[in-house]
Amino acid sequence: MKTIYLVRHGESEGNTKSIFQPADCPLSERGKEQAEFIAKRCATLGIETILTSPTTRALETAKIVAERISRPLAISDLFHEHRKPSVLIGKPLKDESVQEMERAWTASLSGGPRVEDSENFDDLRERAGKALEFLIAQKEEKILVVTHGIFLKMLIARAVFGQDLTGAQFLPLSHSFWMENSGITTLWYGAQYPDGRPVNTEWVLWTWNDHAHLGETS
């Protein structure tokens, strides 16, 4: 059985400023502390390898974990965040000048058309499918993936609903399933019942957004 630990990156400086953050936005000081906490947690999980988004906030988180638990680290573009329209980058989330585009971009998550150079639902679903196939193909059985909130939710939705996942299924999950910075979400692939019978599904969602390691810091 494969165990995939999916971790949202630590808090970034962009998170604290409420902006549409660029790819090179680094971790905040709190984000670095969160990464240290997750590293201590990961030391007990038997992780064999670490995969990460190339985005700075995710890569910095993954490097802190990799250094603390002495595990190999690889970068994969499969795990980057949902691509936003470039014109939004750096703008405040409440900027009235871009709110119409932001609404169109949000609508694209439920199956709406692609907005400029962003990814829409179909793009995300396809990439999530490829990411799951990539994880299945890895020889390691316990894998840590450092990624981003929206894409992490898409990975879970694609694993649970399969290739027939619809925008109507994904949008409520995207809005209602919140995600803490450095929270752990766990997927099992090839799980079995205690008596050895295979579970009648390909993927099992075992934990969601577990951030007990943050204690009072959250």
The pLDDT score that the predictor gives to residue 188 is 97
In CATH terms, the superfamily for domain 2-217 is Phosphoglycerate mutase-like (3.40.50.1240)
pLDDT of 33 = 97
Per-residue confidence (pLDDT) for residue 116, from 0 to 100: 93
What pLDDT was estimated at residue 37? 96
Distance CA 103, CA 107 (A): 6
Q: What is the pLDDT of residue 145?
A: 98
Q: How many residues would you count in the chain?
A: 218
User: Which pLDDT score is estimated for 99?
Assistant: 86
pLDDT at 218: 46
Q: Looking at beta carbons, which pairs linking 133-136 to residues 24 or more positions away fall under 8 Å?
A: 134/76, 134/78, 135/2, 135/4, 135/51, 135/189, 136/2, 136/189
User: For residue 109, what pLDDT is reported?
Assistant: 87
Domain ranges of the chain: 2-217
* Distance from chain centroid for Cα 7: 6
Predicted confidence pLDDT, tens digits, the chain (218 residues): 999 999 999 999 988 988 888 999 999 999 999 999 999 999 999 999 999 999 999 999 999 999 999 999 999 999 999 999 998 998 888 888 888 888 898 889 888 899 999 999 999 999 999 999 999 999 999 999 999 999 999 999 999 999 999 999 998 999 899 999 999 999 999 998 889 898 889 999 999 999 998 885 44
